[in-house]
Structure 1
Amino acid sequence: MAKILVTGGAGYIGSHTCLELLNTGHDVVVLDNLSNSSVESLNRVQQLAQKSLKFVEGDIRDSQILDRIFQENTIDAVIHFAGLKAVGESQQIPLAYFDNNIAGSISLVQAMERAQVFKLVFSSSATVYDEANISPLNEEMPTGMPSNNYGYTKLIVEQILEKLAIADTRWSIALLRYFNPVGAHKSGQIGEDPRGIPNNLMPYVTQVAVGRREKLSIFGNDYNTVDGTGVRDYIHVVDLANAHLCALNNRLTSQGCRAWNIGTGNGSSVLQVKNTFEQVNGINIAFEFVSRREGDVATSFADNKRAIEELGWAPQYGLEDMLADSWKWQKQNPHGYG
């Protein structure tokens, strides 16, 4: 089995991926600066896996820490999650996003090159697609200029990695374009624990359910959709984690740079998510409609055929599983890891 460096491995998607890596026999080294995560997530990952991983607290922009990790560990490949991810915040402090997400990624691949490690799985986003594209979105569709700085950083890093792989054929890079990760590990031990006010629908719903927030704000009810609310492709975080393992296996034996959508291929509206959450978990969610958010599109869901055919991956969990697991995590951890 391989030894994998996971940047941002203490975060929501990173922690679930570390667990799946350990469960399949890989050795894991995590680098995380804990700016938006908790080391408690990694303690729980190790308890669940009944295996240990190596944790280094540090920043991907710190080349000395990166060099030390590569010198002290025989790393076979890197899964790169580390970065800032709040859409609204990215509009307020763009330079922090450019520095963390773009400069940080360059710093990482420079260190990889120095260490002669050329296998990389990059955590990208469906926000890189041109908003004029009609769903289902497939990987042949043009990317566009994202309306927010978070999406912009993902697009720029994708382009940098594509050009890197063309210039130097030693590189083998997977670009995983996530849709909307939700859910939690079925144990309820690890899950999504956003700092401050959640940016995403699911933690907001569960925080209302657990009494941390008064009501859910639904942005816009006048979209051209089934019920006027925005439609998104929600993917269970465990399915997403397993997609990283499939992409890793693919890249360990191939070259070049390739993008894959990671979604279920189905869209659900915000109201459908809220109503299904209520039915599955027997809880009412107070809500109000507020005006649309700038930059939100009406409908976005994946064509996931390429991932199914090329990676041998397929989503295993439906919306009801996602919503039951999200609630189990929040109910057992009303204040997250705090």
Structure 2
Amino acid sequence: MEAYIELLRSMIQTPSFSREEGPVALLVRNFLTSKRIAFHEKGWNTWARNKFWDDKKPVILLNSHIDTVKPVKNWTKDPFSAEVDGDVLIGLGSNDAGASLVTLMAVFVHFYQEENLPYNLIFAASAEEEISGNGGMVSLVEEFGDVKLAIVGEPTQMQMAIAEKGLMVLDCTAHGRAGHAARNEGENALYKAVDDINILRQYKFEKVSDVLGEVKLSVTQINAGYQHNVVPDNCTFVVDVRTNEFYSNQEACDEIQGLIQSEVVARSFKLNSSGIPVTHPIVQRGIALGLSYYGSPTTSDQAVMPFPSIKIGPGDSARSHTADEYILVSEIENGFEVYCSLLEKLEI
């Protein structure tokens, strides 16, 4: 795995913020070229097919993303240094999701020249995952054709995330009437917003998932007023909504609008909850290997995949988007073994 660890270090040393992934996409493409593997390009997305592709066989997609968030302010190391200290590799994107990407690439290369695979493999290094952008996986789905299963690489400690919550962001506006703060004038939009926020804070959606739990509402931003002596006539606030499989984002939005006075506008409905049955062969294969399964509270490119998928990868989600993000080299090595074991006797 040494070559893949070095590729990951090169990726960390090359900033790859969402929509700015070009230089890292080039690293991926150069690596595939060095392995004599032909690939396709679309924007900063790169994908390749196994050498002995057979249209009669089912297709498995191996996918992870090349973009990162921007570093938070309290890093104690250089986020782009790719410093190695024993088993620890530190750097922005090391855990989320560079380790998964290079490990899945190693798996793809491992199986690339096998003539008698019971399925076809596509390896895809996608862009814009961190912003759910239209230039990422959304643009690739039509290129892949009929995919029977996707293995999405994200840090899960190599346990199986068989479902993940959907994500919806709501922009809410409480409307009032301006007036002088010193007199009993106006209608304070800020107070209206606070009342609505209190309703959302206490509200519980009725349907609770065995795997994903309850729908979660979090008010994360608020803004009102422009002068201390003027009663604000508008107050805006933002609600982060994480849905389970019992509610589409549209349904959750409609329910929230019925609870509060404020105007509610969803930025998008596209990132719905996703999941795969416990009875699916990939989950059963993992269970046979001693892997556990769970429902993930975080969202990935699974949300835009119209085919069954499972999320699994080296690293720990708790390290993602944090200062001094790191991955263990041993986690990558173990990840390679687990991925290969999942695929070697898989029948779909």
TM (norm. structure 2) is 0.25
> Which has more helix, going by share of residues?
1
> Which has more strand, going by share of residues?
2
- Structure with more relative contact order (C-alpha pairs < 8 Å, separation 6 or more): 2
> Between Structure 1 and Structure 2, whose CA radius of gyration is higher?
2
